[in-house]
Amino acid sequence: MINVSIGTAAVLGLTEIQMEAAPTTAYLMLGGRCALNCGFCAQARSSHAGALHLSRITWPQFDLDETISRLVAAVGRGDIKRACLQVTVSPGYFRRTLEVVRAIRAASAVPVDAAILPRNVHQVEQLLAAGVDHIGFGLDAACERVFRRVKGRDWDEALALVEATARQFPARSAVHLIVGLGETEEEMVRLMQQMHDLGVVVGLFAFTPVPGTAMESSSSPPLDVYRRMQTARYLIVHDLARAEQFTFREGRVSAFNVPRLRDVLADGVAFQTSGCPDCNRPFYNERPGGVMYNYPRPLTPVEARQAIVEMGLVL
């Protein structure tokens, strides 16, 4: 059996739901309650959220072979372009991840990523040898202070593994960063630059309070902050600007100092979900009809203009 995100299950024809946007990556979850205790995570050790939850999404279980054969069909139709395993630290998680990656890769050439916590570079090597495209590191926090408070782990150790992987296996790493855990914008921007300089893909998410978690009473980040972080990420990963040229006032971006920034952002791509190619994670951070932190599809010209205004800077 394997847990399948509800949107993925709908695309694969395993269930029927109404969707405003369909995932273009198939998201599968492996493992049960996690041994780690991240304050925001529904699967954290002390979380009281249901076993079938991760962020805002439910993940019902389906037969693995059936899921893979439907995944192959969805790839053939062009509906799915990538698969990503979301792996919790639970008994046997590493061996099981290798098995599932190998099973998918035996059936299809679709790229497979794994959002997982490898113990060391040797495990990274095993995952890549099994056919993983990107290792998605859940660094989540933008700095040591927030990392220790929210994730309760050793920052230097976590960062060292990302750096070692990036250096030894170029273009095979991604990091997830969450805006709104208590970092400053400057801390987030500088880490994004550091990751990009290492060749690491940066996927940006907005903190989402989930009932039953330690951070259930905290708030999602203000939209202007998130729009500025999306803009900073876009400029940095496309080598249109570097963090050092931005102006910060009391930790916030007060100017990007990029000529014709409105034109640069006009296509709205900066405000779409970021990360590995074709990873659009519909409604992972958003409620249908609510604030659209990450757009899972191209923005309309009106939405793009609105997103630029929401940044709250005079351009």
Chain residues in the site for ligand SF4 (CB under 6 A): 25, 82, 84, 113, 115, 134, 136, 174, 176, 203, 275-276, 279
The torsion defined by the Cα of 257, 262, 265 and 271, in degrees rounded to 10, comes to 90
Cβ neighbourhood burial of 169 (10 Å; 0-12, 13-18, 19+): middle
Nearest CB to ligand SF4, comparing residues 94 and 256 = 94
In sequence order, what are the beta bridge partners of 176? 203
Q: Taking the complex as a whole, how short is the minimal distance between the CB of residue 85 and ligand SF4, in angstroms? A: 8
In sequence order, what are the beta bridge partners of 173? 135
Nearest CB to ligand SF4, comparing residues 82 and 228 = 82
Q: Taking the complex as a whole, how short is the minimal distance between the CB of residue 220 and ligand SF4, in angstroms? A: 19
Residue 147 · residue 184 · CB < 8 Å: no
Q: Taking the complex as a whole, how short is the minimal distance between the CB of residue 259 and ligand SF4, in angstroms? A: 30
Q: Taking the complex as a whole, how short is the minimal distance between the CB of residue 276 and ligand SF4, in angstroms? A: 3
Nearest CB to ligand SF4, comparing residues 28 and 146 = 28
Nearest CB to ligand SF4, comparing residues 275 and 282 = 275
Q: Taking the complex as a whole, how short is the minimal distance between the CB of residue 262 and ligand SF4, in angstroms? A: 28
Residue whose C-alpha is closest to residue 126's, from 176, 169, 83: 169
Nearest CB to ligand SF4, comparing residues 139 and 241 = 139
Q: How far apart are CA 36 and CA 42, in angstroms?
A: 11
Residue whose C-alpha is closest to residue 128's, from 155, 97, 150, 158: 97
Nearest CB to ligand SF4, comparing residues 246 and 283 = 283
Residue whose C-alpha is closest to residue 160's, from 129, 120, 101, 197: 120
Nearest CB to ligand SF4, comparing residues 25 and 67 = 25
Q: Taking the complex as a whole, how short is the minimal distance between the CB of residue 278 and ligand SF4, in angstroms? A: 8
Q: Taking the complex as a whole, how short is the minimal distance between the CB of residue 16 and ligand SF4, in angstroms? A: 24
Q: How far apart are CA 6 and CA 288, in angstroms?
A: 14
Q: Taking the complex as a whole, how short is the minimal distance between the CB of residue 165 and ligand SF4, in angstroms? A: 13
In sequence order, what are the beta bridge partners of 28? 4, 85
Residue 203 · residue 136 · CB < 8 Å: yes
Nearest CB to ligand SF4, comparing residues 25 and 285 = 25
Show Cβ contacts of residue 55 under 8 Å, excluding neighbours closer than 6 positions.
Answer: 42, 208, 210, 284, 285
